[in-house]
Chains A and B, each alone.
Chain A
Amino acid sequence: MLAIRKPGFLNRLYLIEIIRGLWITMKNFLFHKKVTLQFPEQRRDYSNRYRGQHYIKAVNGVENCTACMLCPTVCPAECIHIVAGEREDKEKYPVKFEIDSLRCCFCGMCEEACPKDAIKLSNIYEMSQQTRTVYEKDFLLEQRGNK
């Protein structure tokens, strides 16, 4: 049979434990560096290799992409949809270039597959939306967060 020992009077007050707990709280509150940020005003610095929102690189206003379809081929989420066409100044160009951002898993394989250094993943990570977002070609061509 197990002997049950009653806690002594001091222990039953729990006072010592409360003071100890409060001490840990105070120590972190007063003497430690904060881990959170004041988000919109303060931003975290991510590495250059961060894989965020896509963009299509352009040189002199002309998109680098030639609609070779290697990125939709390699994309594991099958979220890139391209329609190729022909125009005066460029033999083959993407008439339509869409990335379904909800399906994208930000693996960066498209960037790696691209032979023309056209599709890139930027540092932008604020991508939350209230509706399903499909990035269109015009949106992707704006050179935001270029790297």
Chain B
Amino acid sequence: MPKCTIDGKEVEFKPGENLVSVAKRAGIEIPVFCYHPGLSVVAQCRMCYVEVEKMPKLQTACSTQAAEGMVVKTQSEAVKKGRAGTMEFLLLNHPLDCPICDKSGECDLQDNSFGHGSEFMRHSEERRTYVDVDMGPVIQKNMNRCIHCTRCIRFGDEVAGIHEMVAIKRGNNIDITTIDGKQLKTEYAGNYSDICPTGSLTLKDFRFKKRAWMLKKTPTVCEGCSKGCNMEVQHEGNVVYRCVPRENLEINKYWMCDEGRFNYQYVQDPSRIVDPMKKAGDSWLVARWEELLSGLRTDAAGASVLFLVGTDLTNEEMKAIQDAARALSPKIQIQSFGTPGVETSGQDGPRDQILKMKSKTANLKGAESLGISPLLGSAKSDVVVVFRGGRAELPRIEAKKAYGVGVFLEKERNFFHAILPGLSFLEKDGTVINHQGVPQGMKRALLPRGRCKSTGEMLMLMLNQRNNEVTA
């Protein structure tokens, strides 16, 4: 591999790689605004100046490809002066909004200003201000903070496949806005907030809820569809505040869709059932765990029993259910349910040209790998036990007795005779297999709500109850 020298370090590079990513591999951070590894290079913010030997002027590292024998300096006096100058220009019109800006704490402009700018400003003229248009339900716009890096425009063009952000007017009056001031249409709008290096485009859902530095971050996998986008759950005090994508070049690159981003909301829905409950006539009563589990055990040992496994469960849970069913009675049938119309991975496929898949649950492949056949039509049996992670769409159930095990909202409980509350995808560890067959780990971010128990614990308690009776 060819080599170049950056700050005295010899670094190998792939031909065609730019200096920002080569330097990053060597542990040298070059400050950037307009450059994003997932977007095309435009080199218009001029923040990434570096000095290249034998070149008369400073070069922008994002648009300079590494070459054999190139000697690059990222910390020379000329570079520092260039960066400080760029920072000063970018901040000429930037408001001192950090105390109320949702980007604050994770803001590239803050970081780079702190690292490369000056503490003082030399101008006292009035700053440019804009009137902002409504950008729809996802994104809150504040153009006063914009530094015109055009990342958002390029994201729409190159990733979301819709040209909806534009730069209008020239020079000092430049305004980044949507075409004709329309609302954003893309189903990937949340990414605008992630890629904007300033607080110009922020999430409405997250607005003023928390400051970025107060959040705990847990890496996990989105359960929104069989793509399995890598994401990070940001939470504090057992409450999730937002989800952001994590880089995984094989699966979701740097992005995620809005459906997956805001999917966490059902986990903390006030109408989620978090106590074991049973139906008594028309009303629902809170029950004891032992009572429901022994009822379930007695019913499951009966004549015709169907265990329905949601394809939103993890492999571990599915396996535990299979084992428990075998231990209870060999007659129990196990079938999977998830997205109507996408029963097998053969029917699964991309829903659009970006990320979304047709299967709305994360682990269709996992259910298949464990040999669970899909449920076709409605669930007919004497006893039906539905195991569900919270996202699989409930099929029609025709049964004398139906149990719901897992995550259910109040409006979904009417099919059932009893609900045994389980854990959602944010409250458990486990493995899911995405549409490419890549197994990925989900990580627990939250503690269980109320009296919820994991599927494994429920099954264990149920089986042990039986053993106790056998020995007693």
**Which of the 9-residue segments B83-91, B207-215, B385-393 touches chain A?**
B207-215
Which chain B residues (165-215) contact chain A, with CB distance < 8 Å? 207-209, 211, 213-214
Residues of A near B99 (CB, < 8 A) are 66, 68, 70, 92, 115-116
**Closest chain B CB from A111 CB (angstroms):** 15
Contact B213 A85 (CB under 8 A): no
How many Å from the CB of B103 to the closest CB on chain A? 13
Question: A142 on the interface (CB 8 Å rule)?
Answer: no
| Contact count band on A | 10 to 19
Chain A CB within 8 A of B100 CB: yes
Which one of A66, A69, A91, A116 has the greatest number of beta carbons of chain B within 10 Å? A69
Looking at the complex, which one of B104, B208, B213, B214 makes contact with A86 (CB distance below 8 Å)? B208
Residues of chain A with a CB closer than 8 A to B104's CB: 68
Please report the C-alpha to C-alpha distance between residue A86 and residue B204 in the assembled complex, in whole angstroms: 12
Q: Point out the residue from A67, A73, A92 that lies within 8 Å of B213, measured CB to CB.
A: A73
Contact call A85/B214, Cβ cutoff below 8 A = no
Q: Using a CB-CB cutoff of 8 Å, which residues 50-98 of chain A contact chain B?
A: 66-70, 73, 84-86, 91-92
Q: A90's closest neighbor in chain B, by CB?
A: B100
B214 and A67 contacting across the interface, CB-CB below 8 Å = no
Contacts of B100 in A (CB 8 A): 66-68, 91-92
A116 to B104, CA, bound (A): 16
Within 8 A of A (CB), among B100-115: 100, 104
Q: In the bound complex, what is the Cα–Cα distance between A83 and B363 (angstroms)? A: 38
A68 and B104 alpha carbons, distance in the complex (Å) = 9
Are A73 and B208 also in contact (CB < 8 A) when A66-B100, A91-B100, A116-B99 are?
A: no
Chain B residues within an 8 Å CB radius of A91: 100
- Residue numbers in B under 8 Å from A69 (CB-CB): 211, 214
Q: In the assembled complex, which residues on chain B have CB atoms less than 8 Å from the CB atom of A66?
A: 99-100
Residue of A whose beta carbon sits closest to that of B209? A84
State in angstroms the CA–CA spacing of A73 and B209 once bound together: 15
Chain A window 107-147, contacts with chain B (Cβ cutoff 8 Å), 1 for yes, 0 for no? 00000000110000000000000000000000000000000
Q: A66-B99, A91-B100, A92-B100 are in contact. Are A86 and B207 (CB under 8 A)?
A: yes
**For the complex, what is the distance from the CA of A116 to the CA of B96, rounded to whole Å?**
11
CA separation between A68 and B212, bound complex, in Å?
Answer: 11
The CA-CA distance from A84 to B104 in the complex, in Å, is 15
Q: Which residue of B lies closest to A69 (CB)?
A: B211
Q: Using Cβ atoms and an 8 Å threshold, which residues of chain B touch A85?
A: 208
Residues of chain A within 8 A (CB-CB) of B98 are: 68, 115
Nearest residue (CB) in A for B96 is A115
Closest approach, in angstroms, between the C-beta of B139 and any C-beta of chain A?
A: 16
Which residues of chain A in 5-39 are interfacial with respect to chain B, using CB atoms and an 8 Å cutoff?
A: none
Residues of A within 8 Å of B207, CB to CB, are: 86
- CB-CB under 8 A from B208, the residues of chain A are 67, 84-86, 92
Which residues of B sit under 8 angstroms from A73, Cβ to Cβ?
A: 211, 213-214
Min distance, Cβ B113 to any Cβ of chain A, angstroms: 15
A84, closest chain B residue (CB) = B208
Q: What's the Cα separation between A67 and B101 when bound, in Å?
A: 10
Return A81 CB to nearest CB of chain B, in Å: 11
Chain B residues near A67 (CB-CB < 8 A):
100, 208
B324 to chain A, nearest CB (A): 44
Assembly CA distance A91 to B100 (angstroms): 8
User: Within the complex, what minimum Cβ distance (angstroms) separates A138 from chain B?
Assistant: 21
Specify the chain B residue showing the minimal Cβ separation from A70.
B99
The minimal Cβ–Cβ distance linking B309 to chain A, given in whole angstroms, is: 41
Among A66, A73, A92, A115, the most chain B Cβ lie within 10 Å of the Cβ of: A92
Q: Which residues of chain B from 44 to 72 have a CB within 8 Å of any chain A CB?
A: none
Chain B residues closer than 8 Å to A116, beta-carbon distance: 99
Cα of A32 to Cα of B100 in the assembled complex, Å: 58
Q: A123–B213 Cα gap in the complex (Å)?
A: 33
Q: Give the complex CA separation of A81 and B442 in angstroms.
A: 32
Q: How far is the CA of A29 from the CA of B208 in the complex (A)?
A: 63
CB distance from A27 to the nearest CB of B (A): 60
Question: What residues on A are CB-neighbors of B213 within 8 Å?
Answer: 73
Q: Which residues of B contact A92 (CB under 8 A)?
A: 99-100, 208
User: Who on chain B is nearest to A92 by CB?
Assistant: B100
Within 8 A of A (CB), among B208-225: 208-209, 211, 213-214
Contacts of A115 in B (CB 8 A): 98-99
B240 CB → nearest A CB, Å: 17
Residues on the A chain within 8 Å of B209, using CB:
84
The docked-state distance in angstroms from the alpha carbon of A116 to that of B100 is 11
A92 to B210 CA separation, bound complex (whole angstroms): 12
Docked complex Cα distance between A67 and B99 (Å): 7
Closest Cβ–Cβ distance, residue B251 to chain A (whole Å)? 34
Give the complex CA separation of A66 and B211 in angstroms: 13
Most buried by A among B98, B99, B207, B209: B99
**What separation, in Å, do the CA atoms of A73 and B207 have in the docked complex?**
18
- 11 example contacts (A-B, Cβ-Cβ < 8 A) are as follows A66-B100, A68-B98, A68-B100, A70-B99, A73-B211, A73-B214, A84-B209, A85-B208, A86-B207, A115-B99, A116-B99
The residues of A with any CB-CB pair to B shorter than 8 Å are 66-70, 73, 84-86, 91-92, 115-116
Given contacts A68-B98, A73-B214, A116-B99, 17 further A-B contacts (CB under 8 A): A66-B99, A66-B100, A68-B99, A68-B100, A68-B211, A69-B214, A70-B99, A73-B211, A73-B213, A84-B208, A84-B209, A85-B208, A86-B207, A91-B100, A92-B100, A92-B208, A115-B99
The 7 lowest CB-CB distance pairs between A and B, nearest first, are A68-B99, A92-B100, A84-B208, A69-B211, A66-B99, A66-B100, A115-B99
